């Protein structure tokens, strides 16, 4: 686990992830375990890169139909997400990049 900030962390699921037949269910179990241990509700975003995982987490927080968990490992799901999320919500994109 890589602690990113006081309320964010990255987990590398290499080796674990392919063993899970349902990544969303796995994300729900992570979410529930964190809540049981801390009492803090969290959302889970999964993706092949940290940037995509953070984008998935943004969407998991924003859109109730995700139930707080979103996996964008699939290329088509990733493309759909990138079409509907404003570019300024992408991690690392600041005001200067928006000019272009």
Q: State the catalytic residues.
A: 8
> If we measure between CA atoms, which residue out of 29, 26, 31 comes closest to residue 43?
31
- Dig out the tokens for 79 from the structure: 């493309």
């Amino acid at each position: 686990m890589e602690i990113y900030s006081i309320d964010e962390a990255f987990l590398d699921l290499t080796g674990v992830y392919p063993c899970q037949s349902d990544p969303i269910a796995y994300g729900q179990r992570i979410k529930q375990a964190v809540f049981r241990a801390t009492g803090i509700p969290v959302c889970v975003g999964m993706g092949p890169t940290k940037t995509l995982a953070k984008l998935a987490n943004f969407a998991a927080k924003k859109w109730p139909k995700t139930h707080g968990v979103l996996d964008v490992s699939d290329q088509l799901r990733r493309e759909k997400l990138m079409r509907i999320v404003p570019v300024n919500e992408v991690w690392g994109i600041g005001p200067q990049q928006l000019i272009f």
